[in-house]
């Protein structure tokens, strides 16, 4: 059975990503499922794995130098590196296949990451798989948009002030982020500073009103 991977995920997770398709073909179905699940989630589920499956996973992990996965297989505590790995390919602009343009500046990103985090981008790419860019014409600043997109990868925010928090909340709601972590963080910051904030409509809702 042919397996389809998202190349940015493989590059982020392993410096020898090009070996993964061949090495994974040596795994049993149970070991293969556990390996793929780990790559995408940082989680290692072993309750259905037999000893032979674990031996196969250990061999592949050694070949790919996946030290944290090897620790998990051995029953040790391992660092969760998915967010850090994804943040690296964003910071280094590796294999970007989509551009978000704001104030004549371009933010390189990856369709698979955008679609996995945002309902808006999921629908955009579903309707137009060949779309390669989007121009943001809103009043939000480039810095806010950059930090918003980076959040898709890192799942965290640097220290921000209340003005950026308000812009991030508006951006979050418009683009329909699937996780509420950013919303909760920004709303908490505003509440701590005694600021009331009304969430703007999502992009899809705005388009419906125009029609």
Which pTM does this prediction carry?
A: 0.83
Flag whether pLDDT at 205 surpasses 80: no
Over residues 93-114, the pLDDT tens digits come to 999 999 999 999 999 999 999 9
Confidence of residue 202 (pLDDT cuts 50, 70, 90): low
Over residues 61-77, the pLDDT tens digits come to 999 999 999 999 999 99
> Structural domains in the chain?
7-84 (no CATH), 98-210 (3.30.710.10)
Task: Look at residue 114 in the predicted model and tell me its pLDDT.
Answer: 96
Task: Look at residue 122 in the predicted model and tell me its pLDDT.
Answer: 95
Distances in Å between the Cα of 77 and the Cα atoms of 17, 43, 44, 192 are: 24, 12, 11, 35
- Of 54-58, 118-122, 133-137, 180-184, which gets the smallest average pLDDT? 180-184
Confidence of residue 1 (pLDDT cuts 50, 70, 90): very low
Over residues 177-200, the pLDDT tens digits come to 887 888 888 888 888 888 876 665
């Amino acid at each position: 059975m042919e397996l389809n991977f998202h190349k940015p995920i493989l590059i982020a997770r392993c410096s020898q990503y090009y070996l993964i398709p061949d090495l994974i073909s040596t795994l049993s179905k149970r070991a293969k499922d556990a390996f793929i699940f780990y790559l995408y989630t940082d989680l290692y589920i072993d309750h259905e794995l037999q000893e032979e499956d674990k031996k196969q996973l250990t061999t592949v992990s050694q070949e790919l130098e996946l030290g944290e996965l090897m620790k998990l297989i051995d029953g040790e505590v391992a660092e969760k590196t998915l967010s850090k790995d994804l943040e690296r390919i964003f910071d280094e602009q590796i294999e970007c296949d989509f551009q978000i343009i704001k104030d004549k500046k371009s933010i390189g990103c990856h369709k698979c990451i955008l679609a996995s985090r945002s309902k808006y981008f999921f629908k955009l790419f579903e309707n137009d798989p060949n779309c390669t860019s989007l121009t943001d014409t809103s009043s939000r600043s480039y810095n806010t948009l950059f930090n918003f997109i980076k959040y898709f990868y890192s799942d965290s925010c640097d220290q921000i002030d209340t003005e950026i928090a308000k812009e991030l909340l508006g951006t979050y709601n418009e683009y329909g982020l699937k996780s509420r972590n950013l919303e909760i963080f920004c709303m908490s910051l505003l509440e701590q500073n005694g600021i009331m904030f009304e969430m703007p409509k999502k992009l899809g809702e705005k388009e419906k009103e125009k029609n």
